[in-house]
Amino acid sequence: MSQSAQKQSMAALGKVAVLMGGASSERDISLMSGKGVLQALLSQGVDAHAFDPAQRDLSELKREGFARCFIALHGRFGEDGTVQGALELMGIPYTGSGVMASAIAIDKVMTKRIWLSENIPTPRYSLLRRGDLSAEKIAVVPATLGLPVIVKPAREGSSIGVTKVQSAAEMAAAVESAGQLDADILCEQFIAGDEVTCPVLGSGDDARALPVIRIQAPEGKYDYQNKYFTDDTQYLVPCGLPAGEEEAIQRIVLDAYNVLGCRGWARVDVMIEATTRKPYLLEINTSPGMTGHSLVPMSARAAGISYEALCVQLLASASLDTRGGHA
């Protein structure tokens, strides 16, 4: 594409707001993602501007003539359908999934219920609710799911509030920790084996799974610190899985994405059980990270898509539920 043609193409995207920051517990990561996206879009000639919904009213987007939004918000009030609903009302196309898919995907329990109804494998689980936490109910969880068990808030990301419980005596503290962040506490069967993640780009029949990334974290702890602030975690892409496994994971991830009605992009986290080699889907992120440690850009790069090209591609896919298509 000639330089003048590229300028015209970028100009056609209009005035763009990169939504970053926000009010969730993942605010700091969102700011890192948003700044990366903003810099990438500006480098490609897009008329892009930072916009922090925690500091400015969303109605200013309409008043200031923004044509579309790149959502680089993570967690609640950004990845959960709330911002998407506001943008729908204002008629401003946005990146990523629509209202319903965003609202379902942020809730790990609702996501599991739908996946299980469609025979998509996910670890067994129990749901506890803050305010109804008797010692008896807590004790039933490890007895039912076995140990270790994973305890986490139902609607948080970035491994915030997640505890790997090794003994029944540790359950109460883990439940209390998760309960401080969410009224719904997800207790999940622990799957020992390879930890992988697989991004998806596109919508409907055009959606495709990107290369699988295998994650090797220090002592197997892929927590908040090892995700974003150390260089000790290893990311293998090509993933080096046995023949056929990567393709099988890509197929099931694509099914999981489409079953929820996702569009634009997402990333699905998967555990592969060590002895059976069966994949179990943990969760789906509909507004994945775009930081220097983030996995979607890493996988896209392995597929020949640069960070800048990925940002432009996602922005160009911005759409509205109510229009049933792209802007």
pLDDT in tens, 282-319: 999 999 999 988 999 999 999 999 999 999 999 999 99
20 and 52: one domain? Answer: yes
Instruction: For residue range 10-42, list pLDDT tens digits in order.
Output: 989 999 999 999 999 899 999 999 999 999 999
Residue with tokens 């517990």, as numbered in its chain: 25
Does the residue 142 lie in any domain?
Answer: yes
213 and 224: one domain? Answer: yes
Catalytic option among 30, 97, 126, 158: 158
Does the residue 326 lie in any domain?
Answer: no
Residue 146 lies in domain:
125-189
For residue 229, give every residue at least 6 positions away whose Cβ sits within 8 Å of its Cβ, in sequence order, or none. Answer: none
Instruction: For residue range 40-99, list pLDDT tens digits in order.
Output: 999 999 999 999 999 999 999 999 999 999 999 999 899 999 999 999 999 999 999 999
pLDDT for residue 215: 95
Instruction: For residue range 187-203, list pLDDT tens digits in order.
Output: 999 999 999 999 999 99
Does the residue 285 lie in any domain?
Answer: yes
Catalytic option among 80, 269, 299, 307: 269
Does the residue 321 lie in any domain?
Answer: no
233 backbone dihedrals φ, ψ, rounded to 5°: -80, 135
Catalytic option among 155, 214, 263, 267: 267
Residue that terminates a domain, selected from 189, 205, 221: 189
Mean pLDDT of the region 257-261: 98
Instruction: For residue range 51-64, list pLDDT tens digits in order.
Output: 999 999 999 999 99
152 and 53: one domain? Answer: no
Parallel, antiparallel, or unpaired: how do β-strands 68-71 and 15-19 relate? parallel
Which of these, 73, 209, 11, 164, lies nearest to 82 by C-alpha position? 73
Other Cβ atoms within 10 Å of 256 Cβ, number: 26
CATH number where 150 lies: 3.30.1490.20
Does the residue 19 lie in any domain?
Answer: yes
For residue 183, give every residue at least 6 positions away whose Cβ sits within 8 Å of its Cβ, in sequence order, or none. Answer: 129, 130, 131
Residues above pLDDT 90, as percent of the chain: 84
Catalytic option among 21, 22, 26, 161: 26
98 catalytic? Reply is no
pTM: 0.93
Least reliable range by pLDDT among 93-97, 275-279, 307-311, 320-324: 320-324
Does the residue 283 lie in any domain?
Answer: yes
228 catalytic? Reply is yes
Residue that terminates a domain, selected from 189, 209, 230: 189
Contact 157, 74 (CB under 8 A): yes
198 and 294: one domain? Answer: yes
308 catalytic? Reply is no
pLDDT for residue 254: 98
- The band of 209, judged by pLDDT with boundaries at 50, 70 and 90, is very high
158 catalytic? Reply is yes
What DSSP letter does each residue of 133-174 carry, written as one string?
Answer: --HHHHHHHHHHH-SSEEEEETT--TTTT-EEE-SGGGHHHH
Measuring CA to CA, how many Å separate 43 from each of 32, 163, 184, 311, 312? 17, 40, 42, 11, 10
pLDDT for residue 230: 65
240 and 159: one domain? Answer: no
pLDDT for residue 39: 98
CATH number where 239 lies: 3.30.470.20
Count Cβ atoms within 10 A of the Cβ of residue 215 and give its class: 0-12 exposed, 13-18 middle, 19 or more buried.
buried
- Residue at 222: amino acid letter: Y
Spatial separation of the C-alpha atoms in residues 169 and 176, rounded to whole Å: 13
Catalytic option among 283, 299, 307, 317: 283
Spatial separation of the C-alpha atoms in residues 210 and 227, rounded to whole Å: 20
- Domain count of the fold of the chain: 3
Is the pLDDT at 229 greater than 80? The verdict is: no
88 and 30: one domain? Answer: yes
* Half-sphere exposure in the Cβ direction for 71 (13 Å, CA): 36
pLDDT for residue 71: 98
206 and 64: one domain? Answer: no
117 and 241: one domain? Answer: yes
CATH number where 51 lies: 3.40.50.20
pLDDT for residue 7: 81
210 and 303: one domain? Answer: yes
pLDDT for residue 82: 97
60 catalytic? Reply is no
Catalytic option among 125, 228, 280, 307: 228
Spatial separation of the C-alpha atoms in residues 252 and 209, rounded to whole Å: 10
Catalytic option among 22, 78, 98, 289: 289
Mean pLDDT of the region 153-182: 91
- The band of 160, judged by pLDDT with boundaries at 50, 70 and 90, is confident
115 and 263: one domain? Answer: yes
Residue that terminates a domain, selected from 189, 215, 243: 189
Is the pLDDT at 327 greater than 60? The verdict is: no
109 and 239: one domain? Answer: yes
Count Cβ atoms within 10 A of the Cβ of residue 188 and give its class: 0-12 exposed, 13-18 middle, 19 or more buried.
buried
307 catalytic? Reply is no
- The torsion angle over the Cα atoms of residues 113, 115, 117 and 122, rounded to 10 degrees, is -80
* Helix, strand, coil content of the chain in percent (nearest 5): 40, 20, 40
What DSSP letter does each residue of 66-130 carry, written as one string?
Answer: --EEEE---STTTSSSHHHHHHHHHT--BSS--HHHHHHHH-HHHHHHHHHHTT-----EEEEET
Mean pLDDT score of the chain:
93
116 and 263: one domain? Answer: yes
Eight-state DSSP code of residue 321? T
Measuring CA to CA, how many Å separate 252 from each of 130, 212, 245, 275, 300? 33, 12, 11, 19, 19
Does the residue 320 lie in any domain?
Answer: no
Does the residue 322 lie in any domain?
Answer: no
